[in-house]
Structure 1
Amino acid sequence: MTRPALLLALAPLVLATGCGTLRDVPLPGLVSGPTYRLTGVFGNVLGLPDQAAVKMNGATIGEVDGIETADYAARVHMKISKEFAVPADVRAEVRLSSPMGDSFIEFTDPRGGGAATLSPGSEIGLAATSEAPGISDVLSAASTLLTGGSFADMKVVLSELNTALKGNGDNIHRLLGQLDGMTTRLNDHTAQFDLALGSLDRLGRRLAADRRLIGTSMAELEPAIRVLSAQRKQVLDLMAQLRRLSEVGTATLSQSREDMLSVLADLTPILDTLTRNQRNFEGIMDGIRDFGRQTDSATFGAFLDFDLSTLFDQDVLPAPSTSTQLPGVPSGN
């Protein structure tokens, strides 16, 4: 549009307003159509202007219609379009569009869409309102950081680190290499760690399920623990005696080891002979058992007949001499 055309378009507006200026022209509203009123109580409105936007989920749903102060709080009156329903548990915050930008009110729904909504004329209390940090708060925090506070502490930490690391570069490099290797090895055993943690989780659940039984067992163990605690000296003396006995036994076994091995070696033929004559021993034991049964049933003055057979192993008997003489028999008879 050219300048003459623009002047012609503004001329009726200037004539309609008399001697006024463009500042006297009312700004167009942010919402159109039917509206309802809500009031929010804020501790600080950050220079919130009239007709500031009221937003929810990024959409402009209303505008500020006036601000009053009472009891050290600001009561902000808002016009909300009837097309939008505000949740009953809504939170309202005064925010800045940019560090040096305009203020506006942002509605947030903590539950993400509750069923209940605010009715026209409702008030959002001070507990549900807040204000975002302003540029003055940011500058104040930056001033504290740069002139002392956390920055000063950080400077001390960095200075101490420089002092500790000075001249220890090689050691630090080796330490970092070892840490890297250890971390790599730990990462390689992630599956084992997961398995161990899973086992501990199952153990914890099982112990939790048996908590009452464990409590009962601990209560029953308490008297025994008290007795052991009272006899602690005797138990320690017994442990010392067992230690000395163990030392003596170890020394004895070490000294008699060869003799014991020799005795076991001599027992080998005897055990082999007993093993080969196992069946004969079974018959002998059966005969002894039968003889014992017969003697149990015998009466005084009765006679019992029994046979005794003796078997000699010719392999273990001495070889006969050329002249064998029976014991008790004179020679030559």
Structure 2
Amino acid sequence: MMRTRPLSRVVVAGVALATAFTLGGCGPDLYDVPLPSKVKGETYSLSADFESALNLPPASPVKLEGRTVGQVTEVTTSDYVAHVSFEVMKDTKIPTGSRVEVRLTAPVGEAFVALIPPAEPTSGVLAAGTKIGLENTNTAPDTTDLLTGVSAAVTGGSYADLKVVVDELATAMDGSSTTVRHLLREVDNLVTSTNRHRDDIDASLDALDRLTAGLADDTELIASSIKKLDPAIRTLQGHEDKAVKLLVALDRIEASSRKNVEGMRGRLRNQLKDTRVLVDAVIAERDQLRPIMTGITAFADALDRATPGDFAMFDLTFNLIPALPAALGNVPIAPDATTLLEGDLAELLTGLQDTVTDIAGDEGLVGQLIGGLAGGGG
């Protein structure tokens, strides 16, 4: 047989509950109903200060790496700072240096507290009762802030300023489209060329960076050197007039030296040209001079054998080359520089060198003559 609960007990319970909800203003309301806890077991308390808490309600979840590890217990404000207290499960270890942020689960979702560990792992953990300051807290922007920013930009912020710039550009370019296109092409060419040489530019900047770093490292040495140079600079400044006079005198010496060198050059070329006439005459008559030189050498050898004493007295007569006096007579005593400058100095020196080699070399006439006189050649 089915058993039923006594009706009188159910009615009494219903009447008691209705009476509790129909009491006056001092009675309980919906806010007095306790919310279910998001954590179980033992917990420890932490707190954090925020510039804005995004209307964070009590009992909001506290998450670490996406996992709920606690809940908000109280939110208060003072001096424009929100003070948030929250409980964390006892087995949750929060590294020191962690950041705390108030975030939203969605653009219009629920607010929660996110614990963010530091990028570099630390050995310590936050102890119970630790208070995290404003330097380590942050609040994510909510939808209201986003819409407010967009509204300000569209109605009177940066967008309005950009519109003014665009309107002014349109006014300035009116009727000057060809010039503007040319300018844009030139700018494009400049940017393209700069981009092609960006490696060189980077290398130059790196070198400049190394130079500035070296100069920075040697700042004290440079300053000391400048201090040591200061007395010398002041001394030179005191003798500035004398230095100017010295430079003027050196300029006059340079002008005079230049004239002397130019005159010496002309005289040397004239002398070389005259010497060439003589050498040309000697070369032209070398076949006739060879027997004469050979005879002189033989005579010297015979004389040495015939007179073994200290000296001998004799008369020597020989015939000159008929064409040689005439050739020597053609040598001018004082040739002018204009005639000398008309010739090729390099060609003249080359011919003179060849002629001197033919005459004064070991196989030349002078060489044979000296050899004969020294060793009694035939």
TM-score, normalization by structure 1: 0.60
Unaligned runs of 5+ in 2: 1-13, 22-29, 280-319, 328-378
* Counterpart for residue 116 of structure 2: 108
* Counterpart for residue 222 of structure 1: 230
* Counterpart for residue 221 of structure 2: 213
- The alpha-carbon distance between structure 1 residues 115 and 23, as it changes in their structure 2 partners (threshold 3 A), is same
* Counterpart for residue 270 of structure 2: 266
- More deviation, 99-108/191-200: 191-200
* Counterpart for residue 146 of structure 1: 154
* Counterpart for residue 12 of structure 1: none
1:157 to 165, 171, 188: 165
In the alignment, the residues of structure 1 paired with residue 154 and residue 264 of structure 2 have an alpha-carbon distance, to the nearest angstrom, of 87
- More deviation, 26-35/98-107: 26-35
CA deviations over 1:260-319 (Å, ceiling 9, x no partner): 886554243468799xxxxxxxxxxxxxxxxxxxxxxxxxxxxxxxxxxxxxxx899625
- C-alpha displacement at 1:67, in angstroms? 3.0
- C-alpha displacement at 1:122, in angstroms? 2.5
The letter for the 1-side match of 2:141 is P
The letter for the 1-side match of 2:233 is I
Unaligned runs of 5+ in 1: 1-14, 275-313, 321-333
2:75 and 2:84 in contact (8 A); partners too: yes
Task: Find the residue that maps to 1:95 and give its secondary structure.
Answer: strand
1:170 to 178, 185, 188: 178
Percent of pairs with identical residues: 36
CA deviations over 1:126-178 (Å, ceiling 9, x no partner): 44333333333334333433332433332322222222222222222222222
2:45 and 2:85 in contact (8 A); partners too: yes
Alignment of 1:1-333 (within 5 A): 28-69=36-77, 73-229=81-237, 263=267, 265-269=269-273, 318-319=325-326
- The alpha-carbon distance between structure 1 residues 252 and 214, as it changes in their structure 2 partners (threshold 3 A), is same
- The alpha-carbon distance between structure 1 residues 237 and 160, as it changes in their structure 2 partners (threshold 3 A), is farther
- More deviation, 187-196/172-181: 187-196
- The alpha-carbon distance between structure 1 residues 164 and 207, as it changes in their structure 2 partners (threshold 3 A), is same
CA deviations over 1:191-248 (Å, ceiling 9, x no partner): 43344334334433443444333222211221233345566677778889989999x8
The letter for the 1-side match of 2:38 is L
The letter for the 2-side match of 1:136 is T
The number of aligned residues is 261
In the alignment, the residues of structure 2 paired with residue 69 and residue 197 of structure 1 have an alpha-carbon distance, to the nearest angstrom, of 52
2:103 and 2:139 in contact (8 A); partners too: yes
- The alpha-carbon distance between structure 1 residues 161 and 33, as it changes in their structure 2 partners (threshold 3 A), is same
The letter for the 2-side match of 1:266 is N
Greater share of residues in helix:
2
In the alignment, the residues of structure 2 paired with residue 239 and residue 170 of structure 1 have an alpha-carbon distance, to the nearest angstrom, of 58
- C-alpha displacement at 1:46, in angstroms? 1.7
- More deviation, 174-183/202-211: 202-211
2:95 and 2:118 in contact (8 A); partners too: no
- The alpha-carbon distance between structure 1 residues 102 and 178, as it changes in their structure 2 partners (threshold 3 A), is same
The letter for the 2-side match of 1:125 is G
In the alignment, the residues of structure 2 paired with residue 173 and residue 233 of structure 1 have an alpha-carbon distance, to the nearest angstrom, of 59
- The alpha-carbon distance between structure 1 residues 134 and 231, as it changes in their structure 2 partners (threshold 3 A), is farther
The letter for the 2-side match of 1:219 is K
2:73 and 2:87 in contact (8 A); partners too: yes
- C-alpha displacement at 1:54, in angstroms? 1.3
- More deviation, 223-232/40-49: 223-232
TM-score, normalization by structure 2: 0.54
In the alignment, the residues of structure 1 paired with residue 51 and residue 184 of structure 2 have an alpha-carbon distance, to the nearest angstrom, of 52
In the alignment, the residues of structure 2 paired with residue 171 and residue 218 of structure 1 have an alpha-carbon distance, to the nearest angstrom, of 52
The letter for the 1-side match of 2:129 is G
- RMSD, matched Cα: 4.5
Kindly name which structure, 1 or 2, has the bigger radius of gyration based on alpha carbons.
Answer: 2
